[in-house]
Amino acid sequence: MNKIKVLFLCTANSSRSQMAEAFLRSYAGDRFEAYSAGFDPKPIHPLTKKVMDEIGIDISSQRSKGLMEYMGKIHFGYIITVCNEADENCPTTFPGLGQRLRWNLEDPTKFVGSDGEKRNKFREIRDQIKRLVSEWVDDQGRS
């Protein structure tokens, strides 16, 4: 069985899209191939790794990637933008695209607060992404 390829697209590919990639791989890696990329890739934020470790998901093998690494090279059954910026910057015609979905999530890297407050913001966004991925996987099982 060929797995459906899913690209999570963000601005920096340092947090939200990395989490979504890891959750999809964890929940449905037998049915989907998970990828992530950004328009302006930055290194994975240390708090992204820490909050994923807290729930037993190791993302140390993941790396930040730019969209051009995949554009025109891989057919994606789904592209899921995880922020408004990515949605606005995503080409309207994307070679090899099946469906495009939009999840507008707050960027935890831009949150201003104490170290503990920042970690809590990353946890909040992690938990939102976990729920969205889980619900999306469940919906795919019903279709």
Query: Would you name the residues annotated as active-site residues?
Result: 10, 83, 90
Which residues lie below 8 Å from residue 37, measured CB to CB, with a gap of 6+? 7, 8, 9, 10, 13, 17, 65, 66, 67, 69, 70
Q: How remote is the C-alpha of 2 from its chain's centroid?
A: 21
DSSP 8-state symbol, 66: B
- Residue 143 in contact with residue 34, Cβ under 8 Å? no
Report the C-alpha gap between 95 and 109 in whole angstroms.
30
